[in-house]
Amino acid sequence: MRVLVGGGTGFIGTALSQLLRARGHEVTLVSRKPGPGRITWEELAASGLPRCDAVVNLAGENILNPLRRWNETFQKEVLSSRLETTQLLAGAITKAPQPPQAWVLVTGVEGEAEPRTNTCRSTAAYYQPSLTAEYDEDSPGGNFDFFSNLVTKWEAAARLPGDSTRQVVVRSGVVLGRGGGAIGHMLLPFRLGLGGPIGSGHQFFPWIHVGDLAGILAHALEASHVQGVLNGVAPASATTNAEFAQALGAALGRPAFIPLPSAVVQAVFGRERAVMLLEGQKVVPRRTLAAGYRYSFPELRAALREVVA
């Protein structure tokens, strides 16, 4: 299969490209910067979709960058980097003389970052944070704050008229993996024994190992029966933020008891973005399992052992 991956130069895209190439597929990236094995967004806009069998979009400005003030300009960038790249790809697919077989977008169930080190990784949340509700792919959401509205617009921008191309949306949890993502920034404070829960620690922490997110995306591309929304979270979804902090401390052989107070998170990120860290959702991958995906890292402790090894 020839797969075109928008934003494929990042953390998830690197894992996905490696997996796809290992399975014998050809990968071309769409990036803001030209380079070997890539086309730019301008080239895509000017020349249309290159010949390909499947398309994925992973492009998006990092939402929880604490170096950026949460003002209107930055909100527009967060939104437009996702909507415009998605619209461009969806439009190019619609106009392609030979439409690809599959079109897969990655959005988010939740957001996470590590403010202690002033750097972070994030996503946008579709399901409303709750300490009691359990969400699957059919649960309502996407209409309660800036981020959930963003996911609704993002997923709408991906929708294609007709059914000549299979359409899949993977709503991802916090992605754990070596050399990137949230965990890349958490490792130093946790190694120093300075890690711990964020806020109360009771909020759910929907997570997935990057190998499994790449695996779900590859499954969605390859399996012709997969379509619609899949939750990209591990099946052990009842993990709380405090349990996650404890498990990461245990994987590193360090204590992880120093809580990061809500007030600090709110001061760094502002109240609207702080919600992404201080609140969480219990999300289950019901359709992902029903679609036949088998997880390599269903359990948190094994996932974290691989990440910190």
Ligand X SMILES: NC(=O)c1ccc[n+]([C@@H]2O[C@H](COP(=O)([O-])OP(=O)(O)OC[C@H]3O[C@@H](n4cnc5c(N)ncnc54)[C@H](OP(=O)(O)O)[C@@H]3O)[C@@H](O)[C@H]2O)c1
Interface residue with ligand X among 3, 4, 5, 9 (CB under 6 A) is: 9
Among 106, 214, 251, 275, binds ligand X (CB under 6 A): 106
Stretch binding ligand X (CB under 6 A), from 9-17, 44-52, 95-103, 215-223:
9-17
244 in contact with ligand X (CB under 6 A): no
Q: CB-wise, 108 or 196, nearer to ligand X?
A: 108
Q: Please, which of residues 115-154 interact with ligand X by CB under 6 A?
A: 121, 123
Amino acid identity of residue 74, one-letter, is F
Closest of 211, 236, 195 to residue 309, by C-alpha: 211
CA 226, distance to chain mean position in Å, is: 19
Identity of the residue, 61 or 243, whose beta carbon is nearer to ligand X in the bound complex: 61
Tell me the closest approach of the beta carbon of residue 117 to ligand X, in angstroms. 16
Q: Is 220 in the site for ligand X (CB under 6 A)?
A: no
Sign of the CA dihedral 75, 78, 83, 85? Answer: positive
Is residue 74 a contact point for ligand X (CB under 6 A)? no
Query: At its nearest, how many Å lie between ligand X and the CB of residue 249?
Result: 20
Selected from 56, 150, 174, 304, the binder of ligand X by CB under 6 A is 174
CA angle at 64 for the pair 241 and 204, rounded to the nearest 5°: 20
Q: Does 17 bind ligand X (CB under 6 A)?
A: no
List the structure tokens of 114.
Answer: 């590590």
- Strands ordered across the beta sheet of 174-177: 180-180, 174-177, 207-209
Kindly give the pairing relationship between strand 38-40 and strand 26-31. Answer: parallel
- 114 in helix, strand or coil? strand
Residues 34-63 close enough to bind ligand X by CB under 6 A: 58-62
How many residues belong to the site for ligand X (CB under 6 A)?
A: 27
Strand pairing report for 102-108 and 54-57: parallel
Report the residue closest to ligand X, judged by CB: 10
Choose, by CB under 6 A, the member of 3, 4, 5, 7 that binds ligand X: 7
State the Cα–Cα distance between residues 222 and 51, nearest whole angstrom.
17
Q: Which is nearer to ligand X, 33 or 225 (CB)?
A: 33
280 part of the interface to ligand X, by CB under 6 A: no
- Nearest-angstrom CA–CA distance, 121 and 182: 5
Is residue 222 close enough to count as binding ligand X by CB under 6 A? no
Question: Are the beta carbons of 214 and 56 closer than 8 angstroms?
Answer: no
Other beta carbons within 10 Å of 307: 22
Give the C-alpha separation, 217 to 42, whole Å.
25
Report, in angstroms and rounded to the nearest whole number, the Rg of the chain calculated over CA atoms.
Answer: 19
Among 28, 81, 101, 266, binds ligand X (CB under 6 A): 81
Residue 231 lies near ligand X (rule: CB under 6 A): no
Of the candidate spans 75-83, 243-251, 290-298, 300-308, the one that interacts with ligand X by CB under 6 A turns out to be 75-83
For binding to ligand X (CB under 6 A), which residues are involved? 7, 9-13, 31-33, 58-62, 77, 81-82, 85, 106, 108, 121, 123, 172, 174-175, 181-182
